[in-house]
Structure 1
Amino acid sequence: MDKVVPVVDLKKLYVAEVKEDGLTTTFDSPKYFEGVKELGIKPKINTDEYYAEGVLWLSETTLANIDVEVDITDLKKEEEAFLLGHKLANEGGIIRSANDKAPEVCLLYKAMKGNGKARYGIMYKGTFSLSDENYKGKEGKANFQSKKLKASFAPLHSNEMWNWKVDEEDGMTDEKFFKSVIIPTEKKENIEG
């Protein structure tokens, strides 16, 4: 039995556009986004309670959405325009407009565990929104300022999946994982601990 070890490092981030999510789901090819520092995944759960005869009779738990925060060194102008629905300017740079619409995207990431093996994960469908920007001057030393992005994710319509994680010990490799967006199939046997 393998020893349980914590995640110790975040290594890679890829983004793929969700092309269709209805009866089936299709994705564009994943693209590498350089310089990821941190990825925060925060599921929001709603619990509704029903009381009868003076006691809790039934409790229903529902996944509302998943807040995602990405801390990345910076984005190339093409990456920012793609993620947030902005336009590239002929004169260079990015045009941000009131009616910009961010596309639905999928995030693929790789982290390293304490045993030196990789953990891979996919967040299947979400949209990024405008985030705060801060610029600060040097105060006697370098003041590194990364870009923080916020997104809201939800389950796919086609199968209700919102996340998949898989480890290198399961036979996963960078070549397999980042080639295209994988939608896993459920194992039909008992899970024993």
Structure 2
Amino acid sequence: MSAVRVGLNNIHAAILVKDDVTGVEYEAPFKLAKAIEASISPNANEETLFADDGPSEVATQMGAIEVELGLDAISDEIQAKLLGHKINSDGVLEKKAGDQAPYVALLFQSATSDGKSKLYTLYKGKFKLPERNHSTKNDSPEFQTDTISATFLRRDFDDVWERSVYTGGETVNQAVVDAWFTEVYEPATNG
């Protein structure tokens, strides 16, 4: 029986340092902010071949994965890391037209109805400049939280775009679960 997702927390990112035919390398994961919501939308392109007066074959090609995160507040330091901005010597966040967002991995946790959780990692994506909305105070407080979007894709090294693990699985290596947010998960190689 599968447990149902009932929560979201521990949203982290890790800068992708290397992704080529020789391997992958990431910096240590860092927490983005408090999680409100996450939407992950994989895109697949599908084509149907018609032959003998009907559908005969279907081919599917994986496309980009669109991600949208709702967070309580994205700090200047996190914006600088995710979007390639700089914090100057006065502690002010500077955004320049030529800033380039680095590729990152995205890690997060979703609590399940049985008290366990499911851990996820998306392996290669870039965040986009977030929209900002501001409104004046009125008689009732209104929270103005942050939303940021990213596009993820498969890695060059091994075509992997996501891995996940259910922490209540009977064969799950507990060391993998314990280290999920301290380093980007890569399976052990047998050789």
The alignment's TM-score, normalised by the length of structure 1, stands at 0.89
Aligned partner of 1:176: which letter? A
Question: Secondary structure of 1:9's partner?
Answer: coil
Name the aligned partner's letter for residue 164 of structure 2.
Answer: K
Aligned to 1:134: 133
Matched, 1:81 2:84: no
Worse overlay, 128-137 or 53-62: 53-62
Letter in 2 for 1:12: N
1:22 aligned to 2:23? no
Q: Distance in 2 between matches of 1:111 and 1:55?
A: 43
Aligned equivalent of 1:191: none
8 Å contact 1:38–1:72 — kept in the other structure?
yes
1:175 — aligned with what?
178
Per the normalisation by structure 2, the TM-score is 0.90
Report % sequence identity: 26
Are the counterparts in 1 of residues 47 and 60 from structure 2 also a CA contact under 8 Å? yes
The letter for the 1-side match of 2:12 is Y
Kindly report the root-mean-square deviation, in angstroms, between the aligned alpha carbons of the 2 structures.
Answer: 1.7
Aligned partner of 2:40 in structure 1 is 41
Once residues 27 and 51 of structure 1 are traced to their aligned partners in structure 2, the CA distance between those partners, rounded to angstroms, is 45
Per the TM alignment, residue 76 of structure 1 is displaced from its structure 2 partner at its CA by 1.7
Q: Give the drift of 1:162.
A: 0.6
Of residues 3, 6, 22, the one that matches 1:5 is: 3
Mapping of 1:37-186 within 5 angstroms?
A: 37-169=36-168, 170-172=172-174, 175-184=178-187
Give the secondary-structure state (helix, strand or coil) at the position aligned to 1:15: strand
Q: Distance in 1 between matches of 2:90 and 2:115?
A: 46
CA distance in 2, matches of 1:185, 1:153: 24
Give the counterpart letter for 1:125 in structure 2: K
- Residue 174 of structure 1 deviates from its aligned partner by 5.3
Q: Which runs of 5+ in 1 are unaligned?
A: 187-193
Distance 1:133 1:52 in 2: 51
Gaps of at least 5 residues in structure 2 are none
Q: Is the 8 A contact 1:137 1:143 kept in 2?
A: no
Report the secondary structure of 1:81's partner residue. helix
